[in-house]
Amino acid sequence: MKNYKLIFTGPPGAGKTTAISVISDTPVITTEAKTSIRDSHHPDKDSITVGLDYGSIKLSKEEKIHLYGTPGQERFDFMWKIIKEGGLGLILLIDNARSEPLEELRFFLKAFEDLIQSTKVVVGITRVDISDTPKITDYQQILATFNLNPPVFEIDARRKEDVSLLVQALLYSLDPSLKDSHKS
């Protein structure tokens, strides 16, 4: 069986756990812990990922995608090193409604620079319905400063179609022959 490992990363509340949950064919394994710190952007969020999230997508009898979500807080960066090992590609989610989404994009591009250089990245901008700025062009300008031109999409992490689009774009950027492999 061929196995592919895709990694979801981004700041807390960007939708990593939700995205994996809506696209996974199997029940998602999460390592959520009650948070004692309230995030002003997500006042109803009672928990955070402290280890990883895991789900999977069966492409065919011979192919399976393993979905790993990283914790969003930098204090758990030791998990980032573990999770990105063997990763085929990176899906970076950024919450457009946070106070400094472009800075968070820069931060995660630097934190995952080694993985991005050896694979590909796709960027999903969430919560555009809450804040319509910055615009996709602003994100693309930041990506260009890193000599990157990946697909960038406005998505709702709760919508399977949106998350599927990110996965398909990443798989296609890795190998155009995979374009029609994932049917959602």
Report if residue 131 sits inside a domain: yes
First and final CA of the chain: distance in angstroms?
20
Report if residue 183 sits inside a domain: no
Would you state the pLDDT for residue 175? 85
Q: How confident is the model at residue 44 (pLDDT cuts 50, 70, 90)?
A: low
Report if residue 69 sits inside a domain: yes
Would you state the pLDDT for residue 178? 59
Would you state the pLDDT for residue 43? 46
**d(C-alpha 98, C-alpha 83), whole Å:** 25
Report if residue 184 sits inside a domain: no
User: How confident is the model over 148-169, as pLDDT tens digits?
Assistant: 999 999 999 999 999 999 999 9
User: How confident is the model over 97-114, as pLDDT tens digits?
Assistant: 999 999 999 999 999 999
**d(C-alpha 119, C-alpha 52), whole Å:** 20
**d(C-alpha 124, C-alpha 94), whole Å:** 6
Three-state SS letters, 57-70: EECCCCEEEEEEEC
Would you state the pLDDT for residue 77? 85
**Do the strands 29-34 and 89-95 form a parallel or antiparallel pair, or are they unpaired?**
unpaired
Average pLDDT over all residues of the chain: 88
Structure tokens at 148: 């990157």
Three-class SS of residue 30?
strand
The structural domain count of the chain equals 1
Report if residue 76 sits inside a domain: yes
Report if residue 142 sits inside a domain: yes
Would you state the pLDDT for residue 38? 47
CA distances from 114 to 3, 4, 20, 183 (A): 21, 18, 23, 30
Q: What is the DSSP secondary structure assignment for residue 39, as one 8-state letter? A: B
Would you state the pLDDT for residue 120? 96
Strand order in the sheet with 2-9: 29-34, 47-58, 63-69, 2-9, 89-95, 121-126, 152-154
Would you state the pLDDT for residue 49? 59
Would you state the pLDDT for residue 33? 61
Report if residue 71 sits inside a domain: yes
CB 123, CB 152: distance < 8 Å: yes
Would you state the pLDDT for residue 182? 45
Is pLDDT above 60 for 23? Answer: yes
CATH of the domain at 10: 3.40.50.300
- Which residue range(s) make up the domain with 144? 2-178
Q: Which of 33-37, 38-42, 125-129 has the highest mean pLDDT?
A: 125-129
Percent of the chain residues topping a pLDDT of 70: 85
